[in-house]
Every structure is written in structure tokens, then in C-alpha cells.
């Protein structure tokens, strides 16, 4: 049986080709800037084949861009968006102007810091963030109490937060002072403000939250606010982890 080409919405097709984000693509399409097989298309959801259809933006044909993979040490106070209605500083301000279009892989909220991946490979990004891959993310969290064994166990046992149960895969004490401590937390799934909400339910406040690793990829010595490309070895290591975790 002949295999048919997979079809996706036109906006998603532009994102998959690494041209821009899906929301940016939708704006271009609605502004009559995109042609599909020679005709202006105004519907971002128009079924499109990446293999067979001709896509043009402003009369220039779009082919798949070279895939790029970067890591950034996001400082506290930076928002993980392409634009911000409140005029807050965004992660794109930390990137060179001549960099190809890339999108953050998942998010770190404004108050959080640490390792953030960026890529134009949307399929790879989806696999990184998919709950089905159970790719571990490691955080160092400073809390406003000396973390007891009971607190660490409660985090792993889970707590009802609103309509969902939140828990962590692993938690351990790193170091403590008189009135606060640092704990290491490992998640293999990520909900919105997962760690903050869980600790809030346990009457604990987060003072700092730093993501220090995604899978086998550590933040390492990368300076705050700086970025670099992943090495081929790092990219392959993450790919192997994803593949081993994915169900057949």
C-alpha cells in the first residue's frame, strides 16, 4: 500500500519547516502573506503536505531550515515569550539578532531561572516536553524552611492541588542553613508552576528555583544570560534517552 503524505494545518507546516512559530505563521496567513500552491491562503488550518505542497511567504518559497539546537541560562525576571504586552524583558533579547528563528522548548516562568532549550525543530521540542517520554528535569530549589524528611517524602507522595495531584519523582536535601535550605527536585512530567504549587500546598515558599539539567544535559558552567549550541554528543544523548523512554 502506498504511503500518503501526512497533512497538517498550514500554520503548523510553517512551524515544522522552522520558518517561524505557529502563532506568527497564523498572523502571516491572515495578513495574506502566504501562498499555498500559488494561491493566497487565509486559513491557518488549511490541510498541507510538507512533501507535496508549495508554500511561499511574501513570494519566497519556503524549504525546511537547517535544524539548530541551543541552550540558554535564563536569568530570573525574564519571560519566556516572543513578545510581552507588559514590556518585560524577554529571552529573545538575550539572543543574537542574526540567529535563525528558534522557539523555547517548554517554559520557565518569570521568577524561575536556569536551563532553557531553544530550537527550530518543533518535532524534537514536542518529544522533549511530551509526558509520554518521561524525560527527567532536575531543579535546585531554595525554600523558606529547613526541609525535613517528612517534607521531602510528602513531595514524592503527592498532594491534591486544585483538581490535580502533583508530585515529584525524586527529592533530596542539598544543604541547609538556620532558616532555609536547598533541595534537589526531579520531575518526569511538567505541569504549570508544578513545584511552586506543590510546595505552596505544603505551606512552603520558594525563594529561588533553578533548572540545572534536562535529561543527561546539565546546565554546567554556562554563565547567566548566556547561550551556546548543543554539541552533537549532547544532542545524541538526549535523543537516546527519549527513544528509550518512548513506548513502542
Residue ranges and CATH numbers for the domains of the chain are 7-61 (3.10.290.10), 69-132+217-245 (3.30.70.580), 136-214 (3.30.2350.10)
C-alpha cell at 25: 505563521
At 19 the pLDDT is 85
At 2 the pLDDT is 42
79, 90 Cβ separation under 8 angstroms: yes
d(CA 168, CA 186): 6
Contacts of residue 97, defined as CB under 8 A and 6 or more positions apart, other chains included, come to: none
C-alpha cell at 193: 508552576
Residue range 58-72, pLDDT digits in tens: 988 888 778 899 999
At 229 the pLDDT is 95
Q: What is the pLDDT along the chain (248 residues), one digit of tens a residue?
A: 344 457 889 998 898 888 888 888 999 999 999 999 999 999 999 999 887 889 999 988 888 778 899 999 999 999 988 776 777 889 999 998 878 888 899 889 999 999 999 998 888 998 998 888 889 999 999 999 999 999 999 999 999 888 899 999 999 999 999 999 999 999 988 788 999 999 999 999 999 999 999 999 999 999 999 999 999 999 999 999 998 887 65
At 63 the pLDDT is 81
d(CA 132, CA 123): 14
Q: Which residue has the cell 541547609?
A: 176
At 219 the pLDDT is 96
197, 164 Cβ separation under 8 angstroms: no
Q: Which residue has the cell 505557529?
A: 22
d(CA 77, CA 229): 23
**Catalytic (active-site) positions:** 109
d(CA 140, CA 91): 21
SS3 at position 31: coil
Report pTM: 0.80
Residue range 104-136, pLDDT digits in tens: 998 899 999 999 999 988 889 989 988 888 899
Amino acid at each position: 500500500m502506498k504511503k500518503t503524505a501526512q497533512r497538517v494545518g498550514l500554520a503548523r507546516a510553517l512551524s515544522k519547516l522552522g520558518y517561524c512559530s505557529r502563532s506568527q505563521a497564523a498572523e502571516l496567513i491572515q495578513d495574506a502573506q502566504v501562498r499555498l500552491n500559488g494561491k493566497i491562503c487565509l486559513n491557518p488550518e488549511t490541510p498541507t503536505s510538507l512533501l507535496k505542497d508549495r508554500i511561499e511567504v511574501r513570494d519566497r518559497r519556503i524549504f525546511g531550515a537547517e535544524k539548530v539546537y541551543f541552550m540558554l541560562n535564563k536569568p530570573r525576571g525574564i519571560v519566556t515569550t516572543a513578545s510581552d504586552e507588559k514590556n518585560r524583558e524577554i529571552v529573545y533579547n538575550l539572543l543574537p539578532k542574526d540567529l535563525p528563528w528558534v522557539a523555547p522548548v517548554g517554559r520557565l516562568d518569570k521568577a524561575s531561572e536556569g536551563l532553557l532549550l531553544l530550537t527550530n525543530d518543533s518535532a524534537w521540542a514536542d518529544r522533549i516536553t511530551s509526558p509520554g517520554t518521561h524525560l527527567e528535569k532536575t531543579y535546585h530549589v531554595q525554600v523558606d524552611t529547613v526541609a525535613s524528611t517528612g517534607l521531602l517524602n510528602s513531595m514524592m507522595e503527592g498532594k491534591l492541588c486544585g483538581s490535580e495531584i502533583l508530585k515529584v519523582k525524586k527529592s533530596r536535601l542539598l544543604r541547609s542553613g538556620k532558616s532555609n535550605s536547598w533541595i534537589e527536585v526531579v520531575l518526569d512530567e511538567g505541569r504549570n508552576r508544578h513545584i511552586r504549587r506543590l510546595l505552596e500546598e505544603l505551606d512552603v515558599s520558594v525563594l529561588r528555583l533553578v533548572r540545572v539539567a534536562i535529561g543527561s544535559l546539565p546546565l554546567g558552567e554556562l554563565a547567566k544570560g548566556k547561550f551556546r549550541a548543543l554539541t552533537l554528543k549532547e544532542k545524541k544523548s538526549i535523543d537516546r534517552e527519549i527513544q528509550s523512554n518512548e513506548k513502542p
